[in-house]
A = this chain, B = another copy of it.
Amino acid sequence: MMADVMMSSSADTEARPPRTAAILLIGNELLSGKVQDENARFLVHELRALGVTVGRIEVIPDVAADITESVRVLSRRFDLVFSSGGVGPTHDDLTLPAVGAAFEMGMARNPELEMLLRAAFGAHLHERDLRMADIPEGARLEYGPDNSPRPDGPAAPSSRPWPVVVVRNVWVLPGVPSIFRRKFELVRELFRDQPIHARVVYSRAGEGPIADALDAVVAEFPSVEIGSYPHLDAADYKVKLTLDGRDREAVDAATRRLVERLGTAVVRTE
């Protein structure tokens, strides 16, 4: 049973390495502590469940040059970049032009977004709201795996989902958590990758005494990521050891080897 799972999983592995992602949170309010981040917290769990490894999170202010610089660096280094924040109609909403600038793209009003905005706001539409239809030239609109409803499609405009603006590999999401989630959920299946297998071993011995055993297992199983986390307040253990990897067999073998080496220090495994 496990071997079957492994075989299909290995076939996927050989086809393409798993994707890496960065999360870019844009907003002074996160750096001043006025607002508590909910979006990175949500997204790391989603991406982990999808099998995408998050390699970096950056929180930066509403400053166009900072956004452009981070996007330039992160978009080169990671397969996927998800930005959050700075996409409304006010002076501190600088994300889309700044993302465009990272790729030397100018801005242009997108007719599909303009139509959606007019349909959504109706008589309440303010001229400034239309700025939200201005996106980098070369950006695309993504509606998720069920394909893109077009302006001339059958659905009424009000029932159409709101698309995600994508500039190269940068997925531009809004800062308001409920909208961030709704938009990510629309496109989430586009990112599904090989699952990450995870095991946990609890040790009643502290980090110092188990460090040599850990080193040996780390060296023996290079495909398994092993973490060591002291928990000062835990009732029955001192250190939580985590073992993660794409290769389920390797993760299980590394867990067995670690349990062997720790001997009586093991409280339990999960």
CA distance A210 to B128 in the complex (A): 9
Residues 99-139 of A at the B interface (beta carbon under 8 Å):
121, 124-129
One digit per residue, 1 when the CB lies within 8 angstroms of any chain B CB and 0 when it does not, for chain A 31-70 equals 1111110001100110010000111111111100010000
CA distance A154 to B225 in the complex (A): 46
- Cβ–Cβ contact B48 & A56, under 8 A: no
In the bound complex, residues from chain B placing their C-beta under 8 Å from that of A179 are 232
Q: Specify which of B29, B56, B229 is in contact with A35 (CB 8 Å cutoff).
A: B229
Tell me if A144 is interfacial: C-beta within 8 Å of chain B: no
Q: Specify which of B58, B92, B208 is in contact with A226 (CB 8 Å cutoff).
A: B92
- Cβ–Cβ contact A33 & B55, under 8 A: no
CA distance A53 to B176 in the complex (A): 23
Shortest CB distance A130–B (Å): 8
Shortest CB distance A52–B (Å): 11
Tell me if A91 is interfacial: C-beta within 8 Å of chain B: yes
Of all chain B residues, the one with the shortest Cβ separation from A45 is B33
Shortest CB distance A229–B (Å): 6
Tell me if A227 is interfacial: C-beta within 8 Å of chain B: yes
15 pairs, CB–CB < 8 Å, chain A vs chain B: A28-B225, A29-B242, A31-B44, A31-B53, A31-B57, A32-B53, A35-B229, A55-B60, A90-B228, A91-B214, A124-B206, A126-B208, A127-B208, A128-B208, A179-B232
The 8 closest A-B pairs by CB, nearest first: A126-B208, A129-B208, A57-B59, A33-B44, A128-B211, A90-B228, A33-B45, A31-B54
